[in-house]
Each structure stands twice: as C-alpha cells, then as structure tokens.
Amino acid sequence: MSSHEHGLPPKSSISRWFLTTNHKDVGILYIVTALFFLVFGGVLALLFRIELWEPGAQVLSELSYNQSVSAHGLLMVFWFISPFAFGFANYVVPLQMGAEDLAFPRLNALSYWLYLFSGLLFGVSFFQGSTFAGGWTMYAPLNVPAYIPDGALGATTAVLALVMFVASVTVSSVNFLTTMYRMRAEGLRMRDLPIFSVSILLTVWMMLFAFAALLAALMILSADHIIGTKYFVYQITQSGAVTRTVGNEAASLLWAHLFWFFGHPEVYIVFFPALGVMAETFQTFAGRRLVGRKWFILSMVLVALQSFMVWMHHMFLTNINLTIKTVFMATTIGISLPFDLMMFSLIYTLIKGKVRFKTPFLFTLGSVILFIVGGITGVFLGAVVLDYQFRGTYWVVAHFHYVMVGGATALFGGLYYWYPKMTGKMYDEFLGKVNFAMYFVGFNLLYFPMFVAWETPRRVFEYEAGLTVWHQIATIGGLLLGASFLVMFYNLFVSLWRGADAGDTPWEYATSAEWAVSSPPPMDNFPGLPSYRDGSLSFLSESAVAARLRGDGTASTDGGDPTADGGVATGTALDTATETHLETEDVEHADHASIWPFAVGLGAFLTMLGLSGVQQGTIVGTEYAALLGVGGVVTFGSLVAMTREPFHAPEAALAERFPYADVEKLKLGMWVFLASDVVLFGAFIGSHAFIRVAHGWREWHNLIPAEHVTMPGLINTYLLLTSSFLVVLAMVAAKKGSRRGTVLSLVGTLALGIGFLVNKALEWQHLFHVHSEAFPQGWDLSTNVASSTFYLTTGLHGAHVAVGLVICAYMTIRAWNGAYQGDPDAIEYFGLYWHFVDIVWLFLFPLFYIL
C-alpha cells in the first residue's frame, strides 16, 4: 500500500493532509471543512432562532442580529453547500469517469486551500469590529463603507473572503472541465457519464460563468471599499442630510443585476449536485435504471442554459417595466417545468423496484419530498402579482430553505452513501435512521411554520405578536435539526473504528465504477486501465494496453463499436497515447506531494487580510501594511516555487477525449479560463454602459475633464497590437529552434508591454492632478462615477497586462536558458492569454476614449 502513496506520508500523519494533491484526499478535506462551516453557520442560525423566540431584541443587539443573519446566509450558501457537494465531486467523479486524478492535481489542492483560507478569513472578519451585516444578498449601497457604522474593516474582509472563495471556484471549474472533457475511460462518451458526474459537469459550467459575474461584482465592491471608487452609491447622507452626490443613479440596480445574474444560476449550482445524488441513489436503492435518463439530462442542460435568463425575477419590485417583467415571468415558469420532468422521472424509477430504505435512500427520498414542496411554493413566487407581496417576507425564506436545504438533504444522503467507499467501514444503520427521523421532523418543524407565518418581514426580530407561536415551533424545530447532526457526527466518527468492513460495494445494484474498486480505493484508483470499449467496465492490464496501442486492439472482434458516434477517433487517441504511453510506467515513481498549494493559500490569506486594512485609499495601521507585504512575498514566492517544482500529472494512455482530442490539456484549461475572463470583462463593460445609460449618455461628458484625451489610448493600442505580433514571432522562432529569435521577440513583447503601462501611468498621473474649473481637486478614482468606471475598468485590464508581463519575463529567462526550442506550446498558451488581453483593449479603447 504505502509504496503506492507516491511520496505522500500515510493518512495518519498530519503532514500528509498539507502535502496531498490526490483527488480523494482533497475530497475528504472538502467534506470535513464544509461540515465545519455548516456547524459555524448553524450555530449562528440557532442564535437568531433563539432571538426570534419572542418579538423584539432580547438576546442579540440589533447589529449582532444583522451580522448573524448575514454571516449565516453567506456561510451556508458559499462555504457549506457547494464545497460539500464538491467534496463528493472530487472524490467520486474521477472514479466514475475512470481517471486516476484530476487534470491538474496541484491546482485542485490549491482550490481547496483557497477555499479553506477564504473561510478562515471570513471568520477573522468577526474580530475586526463587526463582520458584514447587510444580508447575504449584499444590496447596495448598504454594502459600501459610507453606510457601514464604525469603520468597514470587517465588512471589507468579508468581501475579500468572497473574492478568494470565487478564485477557488474558478480554479476548480477550469480543472473539472478540463478533466471531464479529456480524461474519460476509453469508450465512455460524455453522454455515458454516470448521472452524478453529469450533474457535476453541468454545475461546473454554470459555476464558470456565474461566478465570473460575481467576481466582477465583488471586485468592484472591494474597489469601492479599498480604493474608494463610487460604483455602488448614489449619494451619501449623514443624519438625513445629503453630504455628497456622485451622479450614479444606477448604483443600487447595478448591484442587484450583477448579484442576481450570478444568484439565480447559483441556486442551480447548489441544487444540481443534489439532483445527481438523488438520481444515483434512487437507481441503486430501487434497483432500477433512471426512467427517461436522456430526458432527465436534457432537462438539466436546458435548466443550466436558461438559468442565466431568469435573474430579474428577484427584482420584480424595482422599477423594471412591464415588458421585462413579462419576459422574466415567462422564463421563470419555463425553467420550473424541466424540474417537473426530473421529479417524475425519479418517482417512476421506483416502480417495479426493490426499494431498500437504507439511510442514504431515506435522505434522498426526503429530499425529493422537500423539493416538491419548495418547487410548488416557488411557482407561487413566479406569479408576479403574488411575488409582489411575498417579496421580503418569510415566504421567500421558507421557499428557498425547502429547495436549498432540501437539496442539502440529498447531499447528506450522499455522505451516507459514499461513506463506506471513503472509509472502508459501514456506518451504523440504526443511528442513521434515528438521524434521518430527527432531521426530517426537525426540518419541517423549522421551515413549514414559516409558510404559515409568512407575513413576517424577512431579517427582522420584530414581528406581530400573533405569529409568536409559529416562530417558537420553528425555533424548536431548529434545535431538533441541530441535534440530528450530533447523531450524524457521532455515528460517522465512531464507525471509523467500530464499523463493519464495507467491502467493495455494500450496495446491491450500484453500477458506477467507484463501486468496482476496493474501499477506500488505492492511490491509483484502478487495478488496471479502465475501459468501456466492450460495453461494460473492464480493467486492462499493461500488456493489454500496450497491445492495443500497437494496433492489435482495433482488430479485436467486439462487433459493436461503442464509439460509433465519432466520440472517439481511435486514431487520435492513439496519437496522443504514443507520446505519453510510457507514463503508465512512470506513474509508480510520480511524486504527488506538494506543499506549494497550501503556501499559496496561506499567502493569499495574509495578503487579503492586509488589504482589508486599506480603506478608501489609506492604510489604517502598520500591522496591515506588514501583513500585506509578507502576504505578497509568500504568495508570489510560492507561485514561483510551484511552477519550478517538478510535478507530473500523468495522462492515461487510452482515454476518451472527444471533442478535445487535439487540444492539449493546458491549452484546454487556458481556453476555459479565458471563457470565464470574458464574462468578467463583460460584466465590467456592461456595468459601465449601464451606469452611463442611467446617468444620460450625453450628460456623461460633463463628468469627464477636457484633459482626458484620446492620444494616450491610441498610442497604447498600437503598443499592444505590436506586442501581440511579437508573441507570434516568438512562437515561430521557437518552432524553428532559433533561441536568439525567441529571446528577442519575447524581450520585445516585454518592452512594449512595459511601455503600455508606463504610458498609462503618465496619463493617470496627469488626470489625477488636473486643475480645471469643473475639477478643482483633480480627477481621481473617487471624483465621480465616470472616473470610477474609467480607472477601474482600464485598471483591471492593466492588471491583466502586468500579470502577462510577469509571465513573459519568466519565459524570457527560460528562453535565454534554452527552453521552448522545437516545443513552443508554452509560448502558444501565453500567446492565447496575451491576444485575449489585446482584444479586450480593442473594446475598452473606443468605450473610454472615443464614445
């Protein structure tokens, strides 16, 4: 066993968990951490449920109440539910699809550490005066410092924690997508993925785009906090009197749009993995195949696409017009229909089944029931006239807990379902059932009364005395629900020692590949190379793989070709394979340990904490400056160390790679990342346009000094275009093996890029210090909303240029030492990024200099 641990210490050793990059270890880390945040958020919830025992503030002060509800929402939605699901995704998806690990194991570990540290950072915010208290939806302008009492440090930290969390999600999305498109077992087409993996695939697609929009919102919000831009505030008032106007009529609506453009897909992001677990366990515990599997998947695809077109149903009470309301009502109702189909599909799967009421199934069956209630009450909200009244009340609270916590219920089922696989031990079935009974009763006692007492406004502790009894029932239910987790934790913990051996699979009729290997699976997951070529799972020995690579395999007599849809061009699979087939042997020696992901996470944590001490452009204390410095050095140093560390993530000799067989995995990863970056810039540009339209397209010019001229922008356009051209030259030179040409071209790129930044710095410097009648104090970041959008959007682009230059400098040094000759791939990937940055500028230039 230990000889297969690839340089990792044994699991009993603490250091293993800091070094590991293995997907199964990372999965367990995710699960345990997510449960920790569940407890954290849960305790806060119990706190305010106790506060709600009677109307009025007895236990918590007003501001602590607001802090608790806000932190509870943020913790549960961000730090608990999705990461919990991604614990399973990490553990199970590679097994289900026949991969040895994710495409980028160290990035996977990095995702985890960014996640953990972002959560810890959020925890720290409680100790900086007060944490963010404006609700998990963070509506503007309550989310900007002007409206946060006693300094906004804690709130800033909370926002930065979210930024870090989004970074984790983005890295993880890129990783999963690359993995799932390129590393499936031979013969496993995309459509053949087990249903849980399908649900994760679609979740990840939604995450990639939705979180990019959230990232834009959060970056802008942090800028409002840290450098004092004015995106999210219309005017600043102090004790009723307006002390400052900014000219930003769109401020509040902009936040609502950005947030809900993310927020609605987010509800499916948290729910899809739960759907996957439901379908998976219904099949197993009913001993039936999913009814209408194809339609089930199609429904999910439709929902995933449409989820980006319903966000304004959260804004029915703003001043959006009737036409828009109509459209969004229609899309909202439209998106609820595929769920009907999915629910019926689950229900019909039970028919002719051999249903066994084991704990996992109890939880997922319960989850289906809760979701039905949640879905029906969601249709109420989709009826706009009803929504007008439900908005801001406990109806919404009850609805989304039925759907979201209903979804989490399925995930708890998943925990029991995969526990034997992860630990090799069986949990105690009786305690499991007790757990479920307490959970289900507690849940309904907690949330159902909220429908009855729906007239209670959301996020208040004052409510009508007549509703008291319902709130008291809810509080009791909350305590029961909380207690059910004690049973769960006890059961799962004690079973680690006392549990019976689980064997490969304790579940009759389970079909997916994770059940075909030992529990827990060995480091390399499979006893041979998994293949579905013959229509069902088999493990190929090394000699069989070698034979197939030589071409013998294609001549085998298995009449039915499972790849008939063109899913696999066997030829291409072989091409790739010949380059890498030796790696099946190297695997034994590969070192899967790396401390750098942890170090990067730690560095980012320190940096972000330091950054929170910068308020409106001034740093509040030397300790923050120190944190910022140390954090920056640690982050950068670890990133460099990580790049330099020899680390080899093997690719299987035979794998299904449709449709990306010809796209190397790094390149695919880069594409996926750039796709999310497009959304990020799209959101920035969209925000600018939205603000400008709201202000008046022409009147906008009054906010800009005459000194803001086109020339610097035009020069920069030429600089960037030329530099893009030079990257292409560098690539050509490297292909030809001309070291001199490569280095020269890269140096040229570097010089032009630096020129771009210097030119920009001069331009900004000039604008900061203009002295005109209209702008006696200069035109800086916080002068007005036009200056804010200008500096921030072009600044984000400038930051992209700067990052590109760091990479370019690194590559120049390597090229000088002879790298890339005859092997220009790395330059090509850098080029992709650089061209992209270039193209973005082609949009920014007219927008900010000409129009």
Partner 1 sequence: MFYVNKLRDICYRNDFYLSLLLTKDMAGSWLGAHIDGVLLHAGDVRAPADVFGDIYQVFLILGTLVGVVVIAYTLYNSYKYRAQDGAAPESVDRPSLGELPTSGGGGRKLFLSFSISAIIVLSLIGWTYTTLLYVENEPAQHEDRMDVDVVGHRFSWEFVYPNGHSATGTLRVPKNELVQLHLTSNDVFHNFGVPELRVKADAIPGQTTTAWFVGKETGEYAAHCYELCGSGHSYMDATVVVMERDAYREWYNTTSGGNETEAVKP
- Between residues 328 and 756, which has the closer beta carbon with respect to ligand HEM? 328
Which does residue 407 bind out of partner 1, ligand HEM, Cu ion, none, counting CB within 5 to 8 angstroms by kind? ligand HEM
- Between residues 382 and 705, which has the closer beta carbon with respect to Cu ion? 382
> Shortest approach of partner 1 to residue 122 CB, angstroms?
19
Residues of 99-137 as b/e, b for ≥16 C-beta within 10 angstroms? bbbbbbbbbbbbbbbbbbbbbbbbbbbbebebbbbbbbb
Per CB under 6 A, contacts with ligand HEM among 65-124 are: none
> Shortest approach of ligand HEM to residue 47 CB, angstroms?
19
Sequence-separated contacts (24+) of 116-120 with Cβ below 8 Å: 116/29, 116/33, 116/601, 117/164, 117/601, 117/602, 117/604, 117/605, 118/79, 118/161, 118/162, 118/164, 118/165, 118/167, 118/168, 118/605, 119/33, 119/37, 119/75, 119/79, 119/161, 119/165, 120/605
Q: Does 505 bind partner 1 (CB under 8 A)?
A: yes
Per CB under 6 A, contacts with ligand HEM among 400-429 are: 400, 403-404, 407
The first and second tokens of residue 380, run together, are 């109420």
3 state DSSP class of 691: helix
Q: Does 383 bind partner 1 (CB under 8 A)?
A: yes
> Shortest approach of partner 1 to residue 382 CB, angstroms?
6
C-alpha dihedral sign at 573, 578, 584, 590 = negative
Q: Which of 410, 510, 593, 837 binds partner 1 (CB under 8 A)?
A: 510
Alpha-carbon span 511 to 557, nearest angstrom: 25
Q: Which of 45, 116, 142, 731 binds partner 1 (CB under 8 A)?
A: 142
Per-residue DSSP letters for 756-813?
A: HHHHHHHHHHHHHT---SS-TT---TTT-HHHHHHHHHHHHHHHHHHHHHHHHHHHHH
Per CB under 8 A, contacts with partner 1 among 195-214 are: 195
Per CB under 6 A, contacts with ligand HEM among 304-323 are: 313-314
Q: Does 458 bind partner 1 (CB under 8 A)?
A: yes
- Between residues 141 and 477, which has the closer beta carbon with respect to Cu ion? 141
> Shortest approach of Cu ion to residue 400 CB, angstroms?
9
Contact of 29 with 114, CB cutoff 8 Å: no
Which does residue 240 bind out of ligand HEM, partner 1, Cu ion, none, counting CB within 5 to 8 angstroms by kind? partner 1
- Between residues 356 and 766, which has the closer beta carbon with respect to partner 1? 356
Per CB under 8 A, contacts with partner 1 among 27-66 are: 57, 62-63, 65-66
Between the CA of residue 697 and those of 16, 688, 701, 703, 786, what are the distances in Å?
58, 11, 8, 11, 11
Q: Which of 7, 10, 457, 846 binds partner 1 (CB under 8 A)?
A: 457
CA angle 514, 515, 518 (to 5 degrees): 90
Q: Residues 256-285 vs ligand HEM: string with x where CB under 6 A?
A: -----------x--xx--------------
Which does residue 377 bind out of Cu ion, partner 1, ligand HEM, none, counting CB within 5 to 8 angstroms by kind? partner 1
Residue 589, number of CB atoms within 10 A of its CB: 9
Between the CA of residue 549 and those of 538, 569, 649, what are the distances in Å?
17, 14, 20
> Shortest approach of partner 1 to residue 634 CB, angstroms?
37
Q: Which of 411, 516, 593, 811 binds partner 1 (CB under 8 A)?
A: 516
Q: Does 242 bind partner 1 (CB under 8 A)?
A: yes
Tell me which stretch binds ligand HEM (CB under 6 A): 59-67, 105-113, 392-400, 547-555: 392-400
Per CB under 6 A, contacts with ligand HEM among 208-267 are: 267
Which does residue 741 bind out of ligand HEM, Cu ion, partner 1, none, counting CB within 5 to 8 angstroms by kind? none
Between the CA of residue 498 and those of 136, 487, 502, 574, what are the distances in Å?
41, 15, 12, 48
> Shortest approach of partner 1 to residue 339 CB, angstroms?
10
Binding site for Cu ion (CB under 5 A): 264
Interhelix angle 322-349/359-382, rounded to 10 degrees, is 160
Contact of 315 with 387, CB cutoff 8 Å: no
3 state DSSP class of 38: helix
Q: Residues 352-391 vs ligand HEM: string with x where CB under 6 A?
A: -----------------------x--xx-xx----x--xx
Q: Does 19 bind partner 1 (CB under 8 A)?
A: no
Which does residue 270 bind out of partner 1, Cu ion, ligand HEM, none, counting CB within 5 to 8 angstroms by kind? ligand HEM
C-alpha dihedral sign at 221, 225, 226, 230 = positive
Task: Please tell me the count of residues contacting ligand HEM according to CB under 6 A.
Answer: 23
Q: Are strands 618-619 and 614-615 parallel, antiparallel or unpaired?
A: antiparallel
Alpha-carbon span 772 to 778, nearest angstrom: 8
- Between residues 214 and 808, which has the closer beta carbon with respect to Cu ion? 214
The first and second tokens of residue 192, run together, are 């053949």
Q: Does 737 bind partner 1 (CB under 8 A)?
A: no
Q: Does 388 bind partner 1 (CB under 8 A)?
A: yes
The residue among 208, 282, 281, 300 whose CA lies nearest residue 675 is 208
> Shortest approach of partner 1 to residue 248 CB, angstroms?
7
Alpha-carbon span 540 to 813, nearest angstrom: 43
Alpha-carbon span 429 to 625, nearest angstrom: 54
> Shortest approach of Cu ion to residue 266 CB, angstroms?
9
- Minimal CB distance residue for ligand HEM: 378
CA angle 614, 211, 261 (to 5 degrees): 105
- Between residues 336 and 759, which has the closer beta carbon with respect to partner 1? 336
Q: Does 325 bind partner 1 (CB under 8 A)?
A: yes
Alpha-carbon span 186 to 572, nearest angstrom: 12
Per CB under 8 A, contacts with partner 1 among 351-370 are: 351-357, 365, 368-369
Q: Which of 286, 422, 492, 602 binds partner 1 (CB under 8 A)?
A: 286
Alpha-carbon span 15 to 4, nearest angstrom: 17
- Between residues 113 and 259, which has the closer beta carbon with respect to Cu ion? 259
Alpha-carbon span 41 to 39, nearest angstrom: 6
Which does residue 344 bind out of Cu ion, ligand HEM, partner 1, none, counting CB within 5 to 8 angstroms by kind? partner 1
Contacts with ligand HEM by CB under 6 A lie at 137, 267, 270-271, 313-314, 332, 336, 339, 375, 378-379, 381-382, 387, 390-391, 396, 399-400, 403-404, 407
